[in-house]
Amino acid sequence: MKVLYEYNYRGTRIKCVVGDITSIEADAIVNPANSWMLMGGGVAGVLKRKGGSEIEREARKYAPVEIGKAIVTSAGRLRAKYVIHSPTMEKPAMKISSENAYKATKAALFKGIDLNVSKIAFPGMGTGIGGLSPKEAAKAMLRAIREVLDSVSECFDEIIIIDINKEVPEAFCKELEKYR
């Protein structure tokens, strides 16, 4: 794993990392899910393959989950404690808008606050199957992150944006530079 950038905002470290989200040590990993909690492709498919199919079985009990809501499951064999499933799309393999990435990010953050996690890891929400560019996702996700951090007194020690596709954390670095 390679840390490209670190930024402090209201007492929370925001890290941009090139790496495998399934190998990160975090309290929670966010899955940009579909409303039906089917974990076939993209980040969801990788989480299921490496963490175990029990993650999907547990998540499916909550389906359908609307965009703007999030649910939590155990993380199976992953190094995290939880997987927070926050839909970016209604059905599997849909193209999405940046508004969906914003709503999903915000819902996942609030779920993380409810769980009292200190370290939460996000992939680029909607940058794979959802079809968003890394820049679109970065803008939407950072808007959600700033709004949530502005609305609470204390919450996360660290928010990690991690993706194996280096263009995703690089886009976050560029967006975060605008806040300096």
**Both tokens assigned to 164:** 């194996």
CA–CA gap between residue 121 and residue 173 (Å, rounded): 16
- Average pLDDT (103-132) is 96
Q: How far is CA 171 from CA 22, 75, 134, 153, in A?
A: 21, 28, 6, 28
| Low-confidence winner among 26-30, 94-98, 122-126 (lowest mean pLDDT) | 94-98
Q: Percent of the chain having pLDDT more than 70? A: 99
pLDDT at 24: 93
Every domain of the chain and the residues it spans = 2-177
CA angle 93, 41, 68 (to 5 degrees): 60
Q: Which two tokens stand for residue 88?
A: 């970016």
- Confidence band, pLDDT 50/70/90 cuts, at residue 153: confident
Q: Give residue 151's pLDDT.
A: 94
Convert the pLDDT of each residue in 4-15 to its tens digit.
889 999 999 999
Q: What is the pTM of this model?
A: 0.96
Between CA 104 and CA 89 the distance in angstroms is 9
Q: What is the pLDDT of residue 92?
A: 85
Please say if the pLDDT value at position 93 is more than 90.
Answer: no
- The architecture of the domain spanning 2-177 is 3-Layer(aba) Sandwich (3.40)
Strand, helix or coil for residue 159: strand
CA angle, corner 41, sides to 160 and 35, nearest 5?
80
Q: What are the strands of the beta sheet with 28-31, ordered from one edge?
A: 2-9, 12-18, 158-163, 119-122, 28-31, 82-85, 71-74
Average pLDDT over residues 143-162: 94
Contact residues for 30 (Cβ-Cβ < 8 A; gap 6+)? 83, 84, 86, 105, 108, 120, 121, 122, 123, 125
User: 150: which 2 tokens?
Assistant: 């502005």
Q: How confident is the model at residue 109 (pLDDT cuts 50, 70, 90)?
A: very high
